[in-house]
C-alpha cells in the first residue's frame, strides 16, 4: 500500500464487504428437531432444495439439526424464539407440539400460538416386532418382561405404548432414550426391546407388523390378533380422547413458525408450501427417497392445534393420564 489513497480505498472496500456480508443475503434456516438421516430430516432437506423457488427473492434455505427429547427441545426453542420474520422455520412432529400445549394448559399456563405452515407426512400407529417375534396376540404383550422402545417421552414412540399400557393396565416397560428411528430398530433387531410403535423401519425385511393401535372402530383386529386399542376402550369419553390422540399423533414433518409471526409471513409460506407439493421436480425427488408422503395444510393443523388447546379440563386430564 504505497499511498494513503490506495489504503483508504482498500479499507472502504473491506467495510463494504463487511456490510454486504451481513445485509445482502436473505437466508432461511429450517431447524429440525431430530438428528440427520431420519424422515423429518429428509423432508426438511428436500424442502430446502425446492421451496426457495416459491418464495419471494428465492432465499437460500439451510437445514440445521437440533435433536433432543424427541423434538421437545426444538419446540421449546420455537416457543421462545424472538424472530418473527420467517427467517427460521421449525420442524418436528405435530404430536410434540400438541402434547406440550396440553401439559401447559393443564398447568394453567398460556398456550403458545405456533403458526403452522404444513406437514409432509403422517406417522403410522403400527407396532413392529422382529420378523421371528413370538408375539401373536394381545395376551403376549401383557407381561412385565415385554419392552417397548421409545425415544423421548414427548415422542409418539412413547405416547402410543403409554396409552396402550394405561388402557390395558399392562405391566410392560417402555425403554426411553434411543436417539432415533434407526437406533430403535437396531435395538429391536438386537432383541433389546420387543416392540417399537409409531415409527416405521427404513427396511421392513427384518421386522413384521405385530399390531396397530388405532383402527376404524369397527371391532376389527389386525392380522395377528391384537385388537386395535380404540376397540378395547369402551368408555365413550376415553374413546373421544383416544381419537384426538390418534389425530394429533399422525402429522409428521410439521413446519411451523414462532408465535407472533405476522399473518403475511405465514401466508407466504403456506402458499409456497402448497406450490411445492404440486411441483413435479419436488415430487420426483421425493419419490426417489421412498419415504411416505401425506401432506396436511397449515390451516388444518392450526384447527387441530386449536382443538387441542381448548380441550375441556376432564378430557385434558384423561389425555395426560393416558400418555403418562
Partner 1 sequence: MDAILIALSEVVEPMRLLMLGAGVVFGLIVGVIPGIGGIFGMSLLLPLSYALDPFSAFALLLGMASVTTTSDTIPAVLLGVPGTVGAITTVVDGYPMAQRGEQDRALGAAFMSSLIGGLFGAAVLASLLPVLRPVILSLQTSDFFAICCAGLFFVATVSGPDPLKGLAALCLGGLLSFVGLDAVTASERLTGDFQYLWDGLPITVVFLGLFAVPEIISLLERPPSTMRNSQSSRKAMWGGAREAIKHWRIILRSSVIGSVIGAVPGVGVTVIDWLAYGVEARRKPKDPDEPLFGEGNLRGIIAPESANNAKEGGYLIPTLAIGVPGSPSMALLLSAFMIHGLAPGPTMLTENLPITISFVLFIALANVLGTGLCLIFASRMARLAHLPAATTIPILVSLITLGAFQARNDVGDFLVLIAVALLAEILRKLSWPRAALSLGFVLGPVIERYFFLAMQTTDGPLLARPSIAMLVLVLMVVIVRAILRQISKDDARCAMPRRPARNDALLALVMLTAAIWALTTLAALPWEAQLFPSAVCILLAGAAGLICLRVKISSAGSKPVHDERVGRGTNNRPTMLVFSGITMCFALIYFAGPYPAVFATVTVAGRLAGRPLNIASKQAMLAAGFAFVIFDIIGNTHWPTPVISTNYFLDLLPAESQAR
Using CB under 8 A, list all residues that contact partner 1: 1-2, 7, 10-11, 14-15, 17-23, 25, 27, 29, 35-37, 41-42, 45-46, 48-49, 60, 62, 65-66, 68-70, 72-73, 76-77, 80, 147, 152-154, 173, 175-179, 182-183, 185-187, 189-190, 192-193, 202-203, 205-206, 285, 288-291
Q: Quote the least distance from Cβ 49 to partner 1, whole Å.
A: 6
Q: Quote the least distance from Cβ 82 to partner 1, whole Å.
A: 9
Phi, psi of 148 (to 5 degrees): -95, 140
Q: Quote the least distance from Cβ 237 to partner 1, whole Å.
A: 28
Give the whole-angstrom CA distance, residue 53 versus residue 288: 20
Q: Which is nearer to partner 1, 128 or 224 (CB)?
A: 128
Q: Quote the least distance from Cβ 239 to partner 1, whole Å.
A: 29
Q: Which is nearer to partner 1, 64 or 237 (CB)?
A: 64
DSSP 155: S
Q: Quote the least distance from Cβ 28 to partner 1, whole Å.
A: 10
Give the whole-angstrom CA distance, residue 246 versus residue 214: 7
Q: Quote the least distance from Cβ 94 to partner 1, whole Å.
A: 17
Q: Quote the least distance from Cβ 95 to partner 1, whole Å.
A: 14
Give the whole-angstrom CA distance, residue 154 versus residue 231: 24
Q: Which is nearer to partner 1, 118 or 149 (CB)?
A: 149
- List, as one string, the DSSP characters of 215-276: --SSS-B-TTSPBPHHHH---HHHHHHHHHHHHHHSEEEEEEE-TT--HHHHHHHHHHHHHH
Q: Which is nearer to partner 1, 30 or 308 (CB)?
A: 30
Q: Which residue blocks in the chain are alpha helix, DSSP H? A: 4-23, 39-50, 72-79, 94-106, 156-168, 181-190, 229-232, 236-249, 263-277, 280-289, 298-309, 313-322
Report the side by side order of strands in the sheet with 173-175: 173-175, 147-149, 195-197, 126-130, 207-212
Q: Which is nearer to partner 1, 207 or 224 (CB)?
A: 207
Closest CA to 59 of 283, 279, 269, 297: 269
Beta-bridge partners for 297:
118
Question: Do the Cβ atoms of 231 and 220 come closer than 8 Å?
Answer: yes
Give the whole-angstrom CA distance, residue 129 versus residue 132: 8
Q: Which is nearer to partner 1, 193 or 304 (CB)?
A: 193
Q: Quote the least distance from Cβ 259 to partner 1, whole Å.
A: 15
Q: Which is nearer to partner 1, 202 or 220 (CB)?
A: 202
Q: Which is nearer to partner 1, 59 or 295 (CB)?
A: 59
Amino acid at each position: 500500500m504505497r499511498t494513503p489513497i490506495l489504503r483508504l480505498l482498500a479499507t472502504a472496500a473491506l467495510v463494504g464487504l463487511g456490510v454486504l456480508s451481513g445485509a445482502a443475503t436473505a437466508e432461511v434456516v429450517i431447524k429440525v428437531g431430530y438428528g440427520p438421516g431420519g424422515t423429518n430430516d429428509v423432508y426438511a432437506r428436500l424442502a430446502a432444495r425446492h421451496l426457495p423457488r416459491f418464495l419471494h427473492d428465492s432465499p437460500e434455505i439451510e437445514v440445521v439439526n437440533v435433536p433432543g427429547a424427541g423434538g421437545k427441545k426444538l419446540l421449546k426453542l420455537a416457543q421462545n424464539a424472538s424472530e418473527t420474520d420467517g427467517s427460521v422455520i421449525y420442524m418436528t412432529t405435530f404430536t410434540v407440539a400438541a402434547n406440550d400445549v396440553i401439559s401447559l394448559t393443564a398447568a394453567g399456563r398460556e398456550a403458545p400460538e405456533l403458526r403452522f405452515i404444513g406437514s409432509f407426512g403422517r406417522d403410522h400407529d403400527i407396532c413392529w416386532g422382529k420378523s421371528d417375534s413370538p408375539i401373536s396376540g394381545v395376551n403376549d404383550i401383557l407381561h412385565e418382561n415385554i419392552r417397548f422402545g421409545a425415544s423421548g417421552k414427548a415422542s409418539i414412540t412413547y405416547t402410543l405404548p403409554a396409552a396402550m399400557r394405561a388402557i390395558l393396565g399392562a405391566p410392560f416397560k417402555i425403554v426411553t432414550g434411543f436417539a432415533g428411528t434407526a437406533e430403535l430398530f437396531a435395538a429391536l433387531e438386537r432383541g433389546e426391546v420387543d416392540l417399537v410403535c409409531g415409527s416405521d423401519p427404513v427396511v421392513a425385511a427384518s421386522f413384521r407388523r405385530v399390531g396397530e393401535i388405532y383402527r376404524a372402530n369397527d371391532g376389527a383386529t389386525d392380522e395377528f390378533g391384537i385388537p386395535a386399542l380404540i376397540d378395547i376402550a369402551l368408555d365413550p369419553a376415553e374413546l373421544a380422547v383416544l381419537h384426538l390422540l390418534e389425530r394429533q399423533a399422525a402429522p409428521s414433518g410439521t413446519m411451523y413458525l414462532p408465535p407472533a409471526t405476522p399473518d403475511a409471513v405465514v401466508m407466504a409460506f403456506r402458499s409456497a408450501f402448497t406450490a411445492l407439493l404440486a411441483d413435479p421436480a419436488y415430487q420426483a425427488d421425493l419419490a426417489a427417497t421412498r419415504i411416505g408422503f401425506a401432506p396436511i395444510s397449515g390451516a388444518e393443523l392450526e384447527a387441530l392445534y386449536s382443538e387441542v388447546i381448548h380441550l375441556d379440563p376432564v378430557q385434558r386430564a384423561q389425555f395426560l393420564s393416558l400418555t403418562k
